[in-house]
Structure 1
Amino acid sequence: MSFIDYQSSTDVLVMTKGHPFDRDAFFAAFDSFSDLSYCSVEYPASQAFFSPGLAADFRTFVFYDMPGMDFQSPDPADGLAPRLIEPPAKFKQDFLDLVEKGHGFVFLHHALAAWPAWPEYAELVGGQFLYKPGLVRGSPCPDSGYRHEVSHTLTVETDHPVTRGLPKQFSLTDEVYLAHAFDDDVIALLSSDYEYHQDNFYSAQEAVQGRLYSRQGWQHSEGTHLGAWVRRQGNSPIVYLQCGDGPETYADPNFRRLLANAIAWVSSEEAREWARSD
């Protein structure tokens, strides 16, 4: 089933690792896009593809990875796991160079939590999920929240190529986050009707410490209701989709349409022209 007419030159690199997922079910979504050519690579091998020579073979990168943390080790800075890992300098420079060149980027679900020691990454994505207390745009914040298997309704907020063909409202059963979106710097595509209050979520840091489904001693302000957004950085069009945790979502036709649209749009010249505009 093809949701979108791709140009034959639209090749996509899908990056994974750092968070468990059902590989067969996840890649079945990409296989369902009959006109899409893609390949996948795991972190840390994925870092090599940001170099100019290799990146030129792909018009779009899809991030379903979560690098930048060692969950098995406490961080010397605060004694808490995960230990935060700085990206290599060459990787950072290659990434930023691609942003200036106008590469297309789609970030999925837990990619919101990647590279917490590199603030520019959160700015690029347009938000941040924290596995332990840290800084968000320079302000101290508690660890973020999560809740699995939430049935919620998403509403299309913006008529945009990424939302074309979707019903005005549709439901998903998926993991949701109590996290941060930089509302002043993104264009909202979808919003959720779920109540993003701390009493409806569990602490990510408690989970890292082995206490799943706990919020003991944890406090968090209301989080973003946004389920997807678009933004631009440098000359690059960027889409973030909060949905995408498990097989039920991967197989959902609305999720697949949303993902296909996002890939097609950031791969398009239209999106690049928009990103280059003032």
Structure 2
Amino acid sequence: MPDVRANGIDVRYETVGNPDDPALLLVMGLGAQLVDWPADFCAALADRGFHVVLFDNRDAGLSTALDELGAPDLAAIMGGDPATVPYLLADMAADAAGLLKELGITRAHVVGASMGGMIAQQLTVDHPGLVASLCSIMSTTGDRTVGHPTPEAMAALMRPPASTREEILAGAIASSRVIGSPAYPASEEWLQQRAAAKFDRSFRPRGTQRQYAAIIASPDRTAALRSVEAPTVVIHGEADPLINVSGGRATAAAVPGAELLVIPGMGHDLPQVLWPQIIDAIVTNTTRA
């Protein structure tokens, strides 16, 4: 997995599939790493004819850690004081744009999940020439009146970061039981394996805090999304407790001609049993480009 210098930071990325196929960029969410995209999910997209590009966002995984920016005061930011905001989602979208340009990719289909959906939306708004199609999964527009978490999901999100490997493994199971898909629960063994792989690769709780600050400090994208011309599909779990399905519905309503796929029983994750349905929706949307 190589690095490229993009937008002033080092971005760790990986590719799957034939470089001669159309590029498809995958953008992950809060505190997540490129390994949060399951390898078989990426391989399935490659098998459908795409050159899949996935990467670590700034402050996550093995991309640049911006520790010199310090810890944001999340309470103050939520209260309207932006003094400790380290960067915005627009900066993270610029990272993605820079990665594509450094790889010589002039246009890509873009798929983002959760915060990655927010970044993908911003990328499409700020760099429309780079985006052939947009897929926003379990995300929202930045409108504070939609996409609200349940109290239980918010408590899981704001839980103090774990400090040991054992706490990470236990926390992964506990969080999944709160925000995961109620109709498609993941096994404890699978959750622990993924959590262990992530922890062993990189552990950056301060980076996650800075990313969260970027989410809450970034402006509402609703008006800007009305200018999007790229074919768009919005996928959301009907049972998502972290970003309520109203966030997905608002996203689809904001983008002209967007299609909306609401999946019953799906929470804030990507259950393997739903991959065929999700991948079919992504591929169908790319054919509209």
TM-score by length of structure 2 reads: 0.38
Higher normalized strand content (fraction of residues): 1
TM-score, reference length from structure 1:
0.39
